[in-house]
Structure 1
Amino acid sequence: MNSQQHIDILIEHGCVITLDPARRVIENGAVAIKGDRIVAVGDTDTLARQYRADRVIDARRKAVLPGFIDAHAHAGHAMLKTIGGADGDAWTAACEAIYTRASDENFWEMESHLAALERLKAGVTTGVSLLGGGDSIMRADDPVYARRHCDAVLKTGTRSMVAVGPSRPPEPRAYTRHGAADKSGNVTREIDFEQMYEVCKEIIDSCHGDGNGRIQIALTLPVYAPQHYPAQAAYEQSFRRQAERYGALARERNLGFTQDGHRTGTLDFAHRELGLLGAKSFMSHAIDLNEADIAACVETGASIVHNPSAIMSIIGRCPVPELIDVGVTVAIGSDGAAPDRGYDMFRHMWQCMHYHRRHFRDPDVLPHGKVLEMVTIDAARALSIDHELGSLETGKLADIILIDLYKPHLMPMNMPVHRVTCFANAADVCMTMVGGKILMENYEVLSVDEADILERVSAAAEETFERAGLHHLLDEPATLWRGSRY
């Protein structure tokens, strides 16, 4: 009589980097999967005797890890890579024009397809995406844009936490809807904060929990920082009112809460005056923090998302080692995919290590295992999903990636954690699985037609730039060559 337990998939003979509480690295390791869950993690010989699988995946010469988590990025940005060259003001203005007046439903759907496809191929199985950005310009006039974003993620098969909220003051803002479903033409409306709030509630009602939980909705607000942006002082009462409303909505619906662009003094203010910090808060950038800012995170259990490749990390420094040392959870975000970075979390891990080592002039700062935690289990903890994701453990969701180590830049095959964090890149991810479903195998995307998406993305981008009148931002900057700076 066969005493083996039946499972769906057994990944065997891999180097399994578990990120479990013991941080086990199992050289001849295996992962057993049934349905959408991991049922066992251990050495190959033991699991092969215990389980009978419908599908056996040979992971020899490969690292097996939990899927990466990108804790901060922006929907819309994947279409706006590099535009404007080095002119940050031009890029920000382009975001505002496109996100409010020049983008249609197809833009948001195709951008989401592009971002989800890039993440999938890079081993990013879960990503946070604010529905807009630039200087806090959100697509908050109609729930249809969030719906189209979520539909594309669902088709691709990955997970997305979509952060929705109002654009920054002043209000109202003009939003244009292009070619409604009935092709009746374009309509421009003035949208105030009350309408934006109602749209966010509709998005929660219609999208949160979709795809068996693969879509989660979080809330976001612009950061109040008049000491850095003096014009904001005129809108303090508006910020207070929105903080009260969105904070209450996040608590009522048990949603995550995030903000983009914290810096000196703003976390302390967000805690003391606005009541926005808590265990489900994950605040982004957080550069040049003071003692009160750090204390606010410690007191409330709020997490920080560090974006080491972002422009704000050039302007100031997020004190990552200092935050970790006092017990604050810190995750890494791409802040992708524009203007000058993508969703390759290997790049951002490497950047994170060297950024802070250079600051302290100390190569011992941020061990390789810690930065790997920051894109897996720590990122899951920051997003309050560590009970389901972030490590390879029995009972957790089977979000798993395989990294091909049998390549010149990853040889010899020893010290696997260092190989992954120092030398691997997105192109080394050869298999991606989400919830037990294989979405990419042997580098081939199985869930969607990659070539078709890329063709449709190109068409949507061209149409959007034509509509916005921004083709000049694609021209080569006059100072691109020869000089030491733009």
Structure 2
Amino acid sequence: MIDLLLINGTLITMNKERSIIYGGAVAIHNGRILDVGLTAELEVKYEAKQIINCKHHCILPGLIDVHGHGGHSMFKTIAMDNLEQWMPIMTNTYNHYVTDDFWYHEGKVSALERLKAGITTGVSVIGSTPRADDPIFALNHAKAYNEVGIRNVVCTGPANPKWPKLYSRWANGKRVTKEVEYRDVLKGTEAVVEALNHANNDRTRAFVTPFVIVTSIEGSGPTPPSRLHQLTEHDRYQARKIREIAKKYKTRIHSDAFGGMIHMAIQDKDYALLGPDVHLQHCRGISFDEVKILADTGTNVSTSASITQMKARTPIVELIELGATVAISTDGTSPSTSFDMFQAMRKTQLIHQATMMDEHYLPPGKLLEMVTIDAAKCIGWDDELGSIEVGKKADIITVNMKQAHLTPETMHIHRLVYQAVGNDVNHVIVDGKVLMTDRKVTTVEENKIIEEANDEALETIKRAGLEKYMTPTKYFWGSTRTYVDEKRFDEADYVFTITEEESP
């Protein structure tokens, strides 16, 4: 007797042939896909402990979000009016005002949101710029994801110079600030990878994640060619140390990159953070010669949809045409997005059609590949995830098509990409275990998670003084353009010194 049988669905396999089976069925046993075929055949062939009738449902591989940020689910839309200062505001909050428990409660609510949107594997960079001064943050985040039941790739590593840096921990309502050296965050990164890579029956993996692949140029956008000179000693040292940790624990490397960084990184041919074991988020504003470098080295790329793509886009079309693997990511839930991969597909298509000035780019089939099988390739997990094939892990979702906005039940992939939303996901299965049925999560108490996360978020907002970034300006209503009409951000507020009381 097998564990689970899905029957009567429109089965979108995402296998090499991109087969679609109408009236399809999937047999699942011991966490893996045992058989795939027509319902009439599999019903006779197998007796199952549990049968799920998927009539009027699409059955497809679980969605994979290859880049997001742990922490962001607590701060949705905060500081949106101060976008130019958003990164230092959030980084300062993560580095000095969150408790250890924050990472657990945030992990719970972010895993829950991903689960309910049909994401069965989610990548989480710990913080905005990674925080690795202590393993507890990543450990608590991973613990939360494991309890919810979806796969989690935990990413942490060193932030950009200058070093040493100040970081704070909170205990008994008091902040203790200490000076952290670069070698300390390397040790913290290694401790996280050692503890979490392939943990929880391989539902948890850990990648080595420096903030960017080249630290000496602009860290959050393209750098002009006139400023692209030679790698610094720290650039080379960091690449070597990241490579050493990844090799030691046989894991992968994930980082951000922007225009100019690939050109710089390839100067260090022995340790460049490029290649098949690397996936780079953003890659906005890269030149065509950098596109060729990524394709030639087999480096994987992920991209998220935002207005910044209109100013300096990720050359998705060129990368794919030259053979690179490109996946769509959400980039987390702050400042103004969600974990809805269906919306991410549509926004990606719209933005790149606009920038290319051609509405024929990125057809629906390609978009669905970019959140399933291509996403699995991007994170090096396509041997087990990303498609519904015999022997692979049973990570599967169903989408309820019997709804007005998804009617008629024709051209199913078009319907999913153009009209579906995350709330249309009805069942979620990970490792053969049903985590959500008829939109009811079976592994955790949803209301408890939401209440605890809300309480922790409000406490953190108050502790970090973020209320001023939540108040609408006078241009909020009735205006066509927003302005911040009073000074809210002051760099002086983000300069920390260690007092005798705060020192460890």
Q: TM-score, normalised by structure 1?
A: 0.94
Q: Matches of 1:53 and 1:132 in 2, distance apart?
A: 43
Task: Tell me which of 14, 30, 38 is aligned to 2:25.
Answer: 30
In structure 2, C-alpha distance between the alignment counterparts of 1:246 and 1:264, rounded to whole Å:
21
Which residue identity lines up with residue 53 of structure 1 in the other structure? A
Is the 1:11–1:58 Cα contact (8 Å) retained in structure 2? yes
Partner of 1:3: none
| Aligned partner (choices 191, 203, 206) of residue 192 of structure 2 | 203
The answer to whether residue 283 in structure 2 is matched with residue 286 in structure 1 is yes
Give the structure 2 partner of residue 307 of structure 1: 304
State the shift of 1:424 in Å: 0.2
Which of 425, 433, 448 is the aligned partner of 1:452?
448
Match of 2:97 in 1: 102
Aligned partner letter, 1:392: I
CA contact (8 A) 2:82 2:469 kept: no
Query: 1:377 maps to what in 2?
Result: 373
Structure 2 letter corresponding to 1:331: A
Shift of residue 415, structure 1, vs aligned partner: 0.5
Match among 481, 486, 499 for residue 485 of structure 1: 481
Gaps of 5+ in 2: 483-504
TM-fit CA distance, 1:233: 8.7
Q: Which amino acid aligns with 2:91?
A: E
The answer to whether the 8 Å contact 1:226/1:233 transfers is: no
Aligned to 1:14: 9
| Post-superposition CA distance 1:81-116 (Å, at most 9, x none) | 111132113422221221110001111111111110
The CA deviation string for residues 377-428 of structure 1, in whole angstroms up to 9 with x for no partner, is 0000011100000000000000000100000000011110111101000010
Contact 1:170 1:235 (8 Å CA) reproduced: no
* Distance (Å, rounded) in 2 between the aligned partners of 1:469 and 1:355: 35
Contact 1:85 1:477 in 2 (8 A): no
Alignment deviations for residues 203-236 of structure 1 (CA, whole Å, 9 cap, x no partner): 1122221110011000111322626569999993
Instruction: Name the SS of the counterpart of 1:286 in structure 2.
Output: strand
Report the alpha carbon displacement of residue 277 of structure 1 after superposing the two structures with TM: 0.4
Equivalent in the alignment of 1:57: 52
Taking a change above 3 Å as real, the CA distance of residues 229 and 370 of structure 1, as seen in their structure-2 partners, is closer
1:48 counterpart letter in structure 2: E
Distance 1:257 1:398 in 2: 26
Q: Could you say which residue in structure 2 is the equivalent of 1:152?
A: 144
**Counterpart of 1:303 in structure 2: which amino acid?**
N
1:122 corresponds, among 105, 109, 117, to: 117
Give the counterpart of 2:165 among 160, 170, 173: 173
1:226 aligns with 2:217: yes
SS state at 2:266 partner: helix
SS in 2 for 1:87: helix
The aligned counterpart of 2:356 is 360
Q: What SS is found at the alignment partner of 2:334?
A: coil
Offset at 1:69? 0.2
Query: In structure 2, what is the equivalent of residue 330 of structure 1?
Result: 326
- Give the aligned partner of residue 298 of structure 1: 295
Return the TM-score normalized by structure 2.
Answer: 0.91
**Structure 1 position 418 matched with structure 2 position 414:** yes
**Which sections of structure 1, spanning at least 5 residues, go unmatched?**
1-5
Number of equivalences: 473
CA contact (8 A) 1:265 1:292 kept: no
Comparing 436-445 and 353-362, the one that deviates more: 353-362
Q: 1:46 aligns with which of 30, 41, 48?
A: 41
How far apart are the structure 1 equivalents of 2:341 and 2:90?
24
Q: What residue is the counterpart of 2:490 in the other structure?
A: none
Identity fraction in percent: 35
